[in-house]
Copies of this chain bind each other. A is one copy, B any other.
Amino acid sequence: MILPAGENEYISSSELAELVGLNPTRIRKDLSYFGDFGVRGVGYRVESLVEKIRSILKLSGGQKVAVVGAGRLGTAISAYPGFVIYGFEIAAVFDSSKSRVGKKIGTLVIEDSSKLVSSICKKGIKIGIIAVPAKAAQETADKLVEAGVKGIMNLSPCYLNLPGRVKVLRNDIAMELGALPYYM
């Protein structure tokens, strides 16, 4: 959620509830679980609430992210400005195609996938986004894990077989869309 920072100093649980479509009691209860940082009858200071939620979700630090695959989707992801809000920085982009390596996406230079492990190690990147064709996804994931990545978002349409210590989120847009017709 993006709070309108600067606009108001305080936000009430009712206003929050309306913004996110939940009920105010639920919001007060959930937030109180993490400490007592609301003011009764007034609400929450927006700035410190944002800070607190960031810290709860471990989104405070500038987390570096590597994108593997600089096709249409990988390029769109790498150029997407929305990651900053969540404290992410796209710090590397890789592709295996000679014709793409060396080209730029914004200020990022596309690196050769064969250097993936060493580059990610050196940069201390812990999060990877997989945007390669399905047949190359498992191999890419294995290399990310070898490089020390602890969390992966998989945009390829396939399951990944990885050690339990690595957290994997799958985001296949076609599969997500597949949920729509059932509810229509």
Which chain A residues have a beta carbon within 8 Å of chain B's beta carbons? Answer: 2, 19-21, 56-59, 63, 65, 71-73, 75-77, 79-80, 82-83, 85-86, 88, 126-127, 129, 150-151, 153, 155, 157-159, 167, 169, 171-184
Q: A177 touching B83 by the CB < 8 A rule? A: yes
Q: A167 touching B180 by the CB < 8 A rule? A: yes
Most B CB atoms within 10 A — which of A75, A174, A177?
A177
Q: A127 touching B77 by the CB < 8 A rule? A: no
Write out the residue numbers on chain B whose beta carbons fall within 8 Å of the beta carbon of A184.
58, 126-127, 150-151, 167
Q: A181 touching B85 by the CB < 8 A rule? A: no
Q: A82 touching B157 by the CB < 8 A rule? A: yes
Shortest distance between the CB of A130 and any CB in chain B (Å)? 12
Write out the residue numbers on chain B whose beta carbons fall within 8 Å of the beta carbon of A82.
157, 172-174
Write out the residue numbers on chain B whose beta carbons fall within 8 Å of the beta carbon of A88.
174, 177-178
Other A-B contacts than A58-B182, A83-B177, A88-B177, 12 sampled, CB-CB below 8 A, are A59-B178, A63-B181, A72-B75, A80-B173, A86-B177, A127-B177, A151-B184, A153-B176, A169-B177, A169-B180, A171-B173, A171-B176
- Chain B's closest residue to A156 (CB) is B82
Q: A181 touching B83 by the CB < 8 A rule? A: no
Write out the residue numbers on chain B whose beta carbons fall within 8 Å of the beta carbon of A80.
72-73, 173-174
Q: B180 touching A83 by the CB < 8 A rule? A: no
Write out the residue numbers on chain B whose beta carbons fall within 8 Å of the beta carbon of A129.
177
